[in-house]
Amino acid sequence: MKPFEKKVWLASPTMHGEEMKYMKEAYDTNWMSTVGANINEVERIAAEKAGVKYAVALSACTAALHLCVKLAGEKLYGRPAVGHGAVEGKRVFCSDMTFDATLNPVLYEGGIPVFIDTNPETWNMDPAALEKAFEMYPEVKLVVCAELYGFPGGIREIKEICEKHGALLIEDAAEAMGATYEGRQCGSFGDYSAISYNGNKIITGSAGGCLLTNSLEDANKARKWSTQAREAAAWYQHEEVGYNYRMSNVIAGVIRGQYPHLEEHIARKKAIYDRYAEGLKDLPVKMIPFDEKSVPNYWLSALIIDEDAMCKQVRGETDALYIGEAGKSCPTEILEAIAGLNAEGRPIWKPMHMQPMYRMHEFITVDGTGRAKTNAYIAGEAKDVGADIFARGMCLPSDNKMTPEQQDRIIEVIRACFE
């Protein structure tokens, strides 16, 4: 099949024109740095959209997550001594199947991630496994939970478990802006939450993120830390460690121009998901799941291949091999076929307990625990759900600008992999 002349991306920025108006406003008024009307407006809109009181505009969602961990740690344990992190030496329960930016900030602040397995019905943190974790480590007081690919699942249950055990919840809603669970916006469940404006997200500023909170005191702390923790003095006075994390007023202009199109982008992503679901419905695959409590933003469409329809596939650290078989396929074969069309797919996030840097960290399933030393980790009868989804799942091209005709050709190529 002839490749597309222009590449179909997994997810790329979709621009509209208003962005240039606000960027030019920053230029014309000479507010090009980390203060200005665009930043103020982004913070107002972000808080309003998420249903929280305050938003702090920052250089990246990772910066927002870092300050979430710092705020939570200081609330739980007090301000650390200089040179020590806010959660120094403390276990923190973290989503396992996610991008590593979700939990790297725990390491920045000296914490010890403990990975919680994935629920096969939601692809998000499993509430039952989290309960198991609290049984094992009742002293833990912080949970970091990500909402995968814009499909929230179980976040209220996660929040209730945290409250039951006196723990704070950090909600990584980087991929889920505009999605809701039980009618409530993602980003509003956490004691502290973070959203992303990275280049491939549902709306973008090319970069940037926001920390979300209902505490004015915490919002002001985060703003102070994000500008090198400068004290209110005529000179440069510093009493604690700070960071250069504030959002640029120029980037804020892009985000300000994108926000009116959030619902439009979500509707387009839903149409893409629905077209895949219809076009692939008689194949031995299932689309990423969600229940009636969730209204996703459909950021990335993903699928998982039925176990008995998987051909042989082996993955190393950076390479993968497979053996084709009639009537069967695997993510490696499908991704190669999509790439042959000049389109971009992607494997599912490789679970954190399988990553080289985290393999010796604890990993807790519903019915067992252990240290994941291989990609086929088993603890007694415990099932490693995240590893299974990683082995059989993949993300499909989900770009807003993909035409129905292009998507139909991608579907045709996927179908051919099972012939």
Kindly list the catalytic residues. 201
Closest C-alpha to 394, from 325, 345, 342 = 345
Question: Helices 37-50 & 249-258, crossing angle to 10 degrees?
Answer: 40
CA dist 12 and 262 (Å) reads 14
Residue at token pair 């005709």 = 405
Q: What is the DSSP string of 232-294?
A: SSSS--BSS---B-BPPHHHHHHHHHHGGGHHHHHHHHHHHHHHHHHHTTTSSEEEPP--TTE
Burial grade of 1 (CB within 10 A; 0-12, 13-18, 19 or more): exposed
Longest Cα–Cα distance of the chain, Å, equals 74
Amino acid at 164: K
Burial 7-16 (b: 16+ CB within 10 A, else e): ebbbbbbbee
Are the C-beta atoms of 209 and 195 separated by less than 8 Å?
Answer: yes
CA dist 359 and 366 (Å) reads 19
Question: CB within 8 A of 338, min separation 6: which ones?
Answer: 344, 345, 396, 397, 410, 413, 414
CA dist 68 and 215 (Å) reads 12
Helix spans in 118-261 (H): 127-136, 155-164, 216-226, 249-258
Question: CB within 8 A of 143, min separation 6: which ones?
Answer: 92, 93, 94, 130, 158, 162, 167, 168, 169, 170
CA dist 313 and 301 (Å) reads 22
Burial grade of 350 (CB within 10 A; 0-12, 13-18, 19 or more): middle
Closest C-alpha to 201, from 398, 404, 406 = 398
Q: Name the phi and psi angles at 176, rounded to 5.
A: -120, 15
Burial grade of 19 (CB within 10 A; 0-12, 13-18, 19 or more): buried
